[in-house]
Structure 1
Amino acid sequence: MTTPVTDALQDFVARYQSAAQQAGQPLSTEYDSAWPSPCYQGSGAEGEQVRWQPTPQAGNLSFHNVEEALSISLNPQYCEFFTSFYSDNLTAKAEQGACELLQVWNEQDFERLQQNLIGHLLMKQRLKQAPTLFFAVTDEEDFILTVDNASGAVMLEQVGKPPQQQVADDLASFIRTLEPLIQS
């Protein structure tokens, strides 16, 4: 089943792969046999550069354990964002500047994301701030992009502080505005 978020992310991934190809910079990363991923396009010697590509997930990842542990319902678009693809992080240019869309490389990476999200949500609770859900880092130190859990709006937020600025009405709209930023 496709949703606005999965459609927008799928389109961005296609544009990202195309931009890398046009730049003559195939997507590659150091091979790590201890960190397997369906993204690897072959194998290599430990530490050798190998090609990778974003790979659709089979639909087996879920945030239900986080929701149960914290007695919270997570914004569905946020959950769709992290359960659509296995991928390395994706760099992009937004209207406000450069950002890096966080992604999960494998199931263990998804577990690590969940642990970090729990830590983030507990910090928000302790600071008596509304829950936000991080999905990207920016080129500004300590600034992240989050989804407001209640409204679904994309927000610019300094870590530990309430969101400062609404960037988009929803995650799909934000992703559609991004331009791939291929690192040389």
Structure 2
Amino acid sequence: MQDQVVMALGEFFTRWQRLGGHGLVDYDKEFLSPAEYLPPRQGRVAWRPWCRPVPGSFDNLARALAMPIHPDLASYYGHYFAAHVTACFKGLFIDLLQPWNQDDFERLQENLIGHQLMQQRLGLPATWFLASCRDEHRLVCLDNHTGEVILERLGKGKIGVLAPTLAGFLGRLEPVRVGD
């Protein structure tokens, strides 16, 4: 059975590509990605989501934190290399975070560990960030215990539940075209 989160993320990327087919990001010859598909022009490079032939693992994250990791986290971050994508969920504008390449995937894991250590220090439940909001003090997160997608105030905890599952959240997410 195919993973519902991976399917929903792929369907979201398809909806996003229908808006324009690709995204543009600043080109960095020292930070290349398999998501790049055209040669750089005027300091920018075209990209589209690239499905990894071997998904990235979060076993090291579980070992480092000595805790089980909700499987939806690996499904969300481990299957594609892509740039961040602007989207809207019921009027909330967000930037979905995705790793650009393997080095970025490893940096993402370090940041997730840092986020979790901060949560523990503050006595907050385990969550994993998925997207940033226009208000830099709010994040869209995955609740590690329930699998719910929540809106969280940085350092303060849950504001509310956005969706009961990550697959459901991605299914209702609308891509937003931003100026290239």
What band does the TM-score fall into relative to the shorter chain?
A: over 0.9
CA contact (8 A) 1:136 1:145 kept: yes
Question: Which letter does structure 2 place at the counterpart of 1:29?
Answer: V
Q: Distance in 1 between matches of 2:111 and 2:45?
A: 28
Matched, 1:76 2:103: no
Indicate the residue corresponding to 1:136 in structure 2: 131
How big is the shift at 1:60? Answer: 4.3
CA contact (8 A) 1:9 1:81 kept: yes
How big is the shift at 1:100? Answer: 0.8
Q: Unaligned 5+ residue runs, structure 1? A: none
Matched, 1:37 2:40: no
CA contact (8 A) 2:24 2:45 kept: yes
Other structure's SS at 1:164 match: strand
Q: Distance in 1 between matches of 2:126 and 2:118?
A: 9
CA contact (8 A) 1:92 1:181 kept: yes
Instruction: Give % identity.
Output: 35
Structure-2-length-normalised TM-score: 0.94
How big is the shift at 1:111? Answer: 0.8
CA contact (8 A) 1:54 1:86 kept: yes
CA contact (8 A) 1:155 1:164 kept: yes
1:1-184 correspondence to structure 2 within 5 Å: 2-21=2-21, 26-44=22-40, 48-184=43-179
Q: Distance in 2 between matches of 1:111 and 1:102?
A: 14
CA RMSD of aligned residues (A): 1.4
Question: Which letter does structure 2 place at the counterpart of 1:43?
Answer: P
Q: Distance in 1 between matches of 2:46 and 2:91?
A: 30
Question: Which letter does structure 2 place at the counterpart of 1:31?
Answer: Y
Q: Unaligned 5+ residue runs, structure 2? A: none
Query: For 1:5-42, what per-residue CA distance to the aligned partner results, in whole angstroms no more than 9, with x for missing partners?
Result: 01100000011011124xxxx42222211001101113
Question: Which letter does structure 1 place at the counterpart of 2:113?
Answer: I
Structure-1-length-normalised TM-score: 0.92
Other structure's SS at 1:150 match: coil
CA contact (8 A) 1:133 1:146 kept: yes
Count of residue correspondences: 179
CA contact (8 A) 2:139 2:153 kept: yes
Runs of 4+ in 1 over 6 A off after TM superposition: none
How big is the shift at 1:83? Answer: 0.8
Query: For 1:155-175, what per-residue CA distance to the aligned partner results, in whole angstroms no more than 9, with x for missing partners?
Result: 000100121101100100001
Q: Distance in 1 between matches of 2:98 and 2:131?
A: 9
CA contact (8 A) 2:149 2:163 kept: yes
